[in-house]
Amino acid sequence: MLKNIRTVFVLLFICGIAYPLLMTMLAQVVMPVKAEGSLIKNESGEIIGSEMIGQSFKDPGYFHGRISSINYDAAGSGAPNYSPSNKEMIERTLNDIEEFSNENPTVDKADVPSDLMTNSASGLDPNVSPQGAIVQVPRIANERGLSEKSLYNLVDEYTESRSFGLFGEPRINVLKLNIALDELE
């Protein structure tokens, strides 16, 4: 019995204290920016977001990201697992398409990229597809009085390619893009 209790405490120490501390220290040395949450700071050093967690941009003068059913709250990561035939899902999607069409009257409903109307699995996705950003350019150019050409160039500049040339899809981090957008003015 005493041997079992001792084994439990030894394993508790190894798995619950020593291993997590070792991995945290290793992460701080090998990849300190990622270990700290990939935080994005402004010129005065204030944290304005993370590269890894999306934010809600409602102002028509900014690029909008993906829909988040959890309002980008990392404490509640996840999205409802609705089927495409779910009544709530259909209603929400139709409302979102209508809202998008009202904000972006130059975009035909059939041309609205699906990533702008769907949740990611976590509800925290900070990225949109290049097409998801491109369809928003006319609205932003109109709101900010900028040329569409300069915004298309900005979208192109902030488009990240597939990881290692193989994995994932081309994407744009919406927070980084909006920070660069503010710097254009």
User: Shortest CA distance to 40 belongs to which of 164, 185, 142, 175?
Assistant: 175
Question: How many angstroms separate the CA atoms of 15 and 9, rounded?
Answer: 10
DSSP code of residue 108: -
User: Shortest CA distance to 179 belongs to which of 154, 144, 146?
Assistant: 154
Per-residue model confidence (pLDDT) at position 2: 86
**Stretches in the chain below the pLDDT threshold 50:** none
Three-class DSSP labels, 64-88: CCCCCCCCCCHHHCCCCCCCCCCHH
- Residue reference for tokens 């945290």: 24
Per-residue model confidence (pLDDT) at position 158: 96
Per-residue model confidence (pLDDT) at position 180: 94
Per-residue model confidence (pLDDT) at position 184: 84
Chain-centre distance of CA 49, in angstroms?
Answer: 10
- Count of beta carbons in the 10 Å neighbourhood of residue 84: 7
Per-residue model confidence (pLDDT) at position 120: 82
Question: How many angstroms separate the CA atoms of 132 and 116, rounded?
Answer: 6
Residues 152-179: b if buried by 16+ CB within 10 A, e if exposed: eebbeebbeeeeeeeeeeebbbbbbbbe
The answer for residues whose C-beta is within 8 angstroms of residue 144's C-beta and 6 or more apart is 61, 181, 184, 185
Instruction: Indicate yes or no: pTM above 0.85.
Output: no
